[in-house]
Amino acid sequence: MAVLPLDTTAGQGPARQEEHPVRPPGHPSRRTRAGSLPPLLATLLALLLIGAAQGTRPHPFGDHLARGADRPGAPALRTSGGAVEAYDAEGTRWRHAREGRRALAVLPVAGHAFALWSDGLVTDTERGTAAAVRWHRAVPDAAPWLRTPGAHGGAGVLRPLDPAARMLAVVTPHRIAAYRTADGDLRWVLPARAGCAFAPAGALRRGTALLIAQPCAGHDTDWSDQIIAVDDLGRIAPHRTPLGNGLPGRAGKALASHR
């Protein structure tokens, strides 16, 4: 006798089929919608992340500028609490501090506030409103000397080399370095004579020349060798042919005439 297969669905109606909703072409699935962001939202999120990263990025020189109300006229300058302060009769105009550093000396000239710091750095801050620190320059071998008692707090280190202060001399016992004030470009360096050292506080201006004392060890050195005369073009000497100090692309970059 043949055995027929048992139909287990008999009497239960037609088998239930799984339902799959039909979506129109191009309609994103639920997984796709949950796993992606609209392009505009994604762009805004990226910009916020970039801005946050830039906001937390430390300044390489640790500068902190606190600006008050802008008032006409050039403010006076002083060092106070390890910072540079600009002030007038109505109060403090702005304050420039650096993390872990102290301002030792400050030189005010038209439009510039030059400062010497305890780590041997020289800065130029816009004098009127402190809109920015224009440039930073490290002076070689200056930091160890500034920590010695004989440094006298950096007195005389910062010296203008011309009446308009287009050039700034930074005088240390080892060398004189001259920087163009417009952009901080190093223009020339004059080392001290062997056995001698420059005395930053011992400087005197005579016309266009800056006379700087250069005391030497021993008693056989002629007095004329213990005084150096410089100007914006370097050491004053007969028949010199120094380079000019003009900005690139402007007159004065070529060789200057003898003087």
Query: CA-to-CA distance for 187 and 139, rounded, in angstroms?
Result: 13
Q: Which of 68-72, 97-101, 154-158, 230-234 has the lowest mean pLDDT?
A: 68-72
pLDDT at 161 over 50: yes
Q: Is the dihedral of CA 178, 181, 184, 187 positive or negative?
A: negative
Amino acid 180: pLDDT? 96
Confidence bin at 10 (pLDDT 50/70/90) = very low
More confident call, 85 vs 163 = 85
Mean predicted confidence (pLDDT) in 132-139:
95
Query: CA-to-CA distance for 105 and 103, rounded, in angstroms?
Result: 6
Amino acid 259: pLDDT? 39
Amino acid 182: pLDDT? 95
pLDDT at 129 over 80: yes
Average pLDDT of the residues of the chain: 81
Amino acid 24: pLDDT? 55
Sheet holding 227-231, edge to edge: 199-206, 209-213, 227-231, 234-235
Confidence bin at 174 (pLDDT 50/70/90) = very high
Amino acid 69: pLDDT? 85
Mean predicted confidence (pLDDT) in 100-119:
96
Mean predicted confidence (pLDDT) in 164-189:
95
pLDDT at 155 over 60: yes
What residue type is 14 in one-letter code? P
Amino acid 5: pLDDT? 45
Q: Which of 1-10, 98-107, 115-124, 162-171 has the lowest mean pLDDT?
A: 1-10
Listing DSSP states for 116-149 in one string gives: EETTSEEEEEETTT---EEEEEEPTTHHHHHTSG
Mean predicted confidence (pLDDT) in 164-186:
95
Q: What is the pTM of this model?
A: 0.71
Mean predicted confidence (pLDDT) in 225-229:
90
Confidence bin at 248 (pLDDT 50/70/90) = confident
What residue type is 111 in one-letter code? G
Amino acid 251: pLDDT? 47
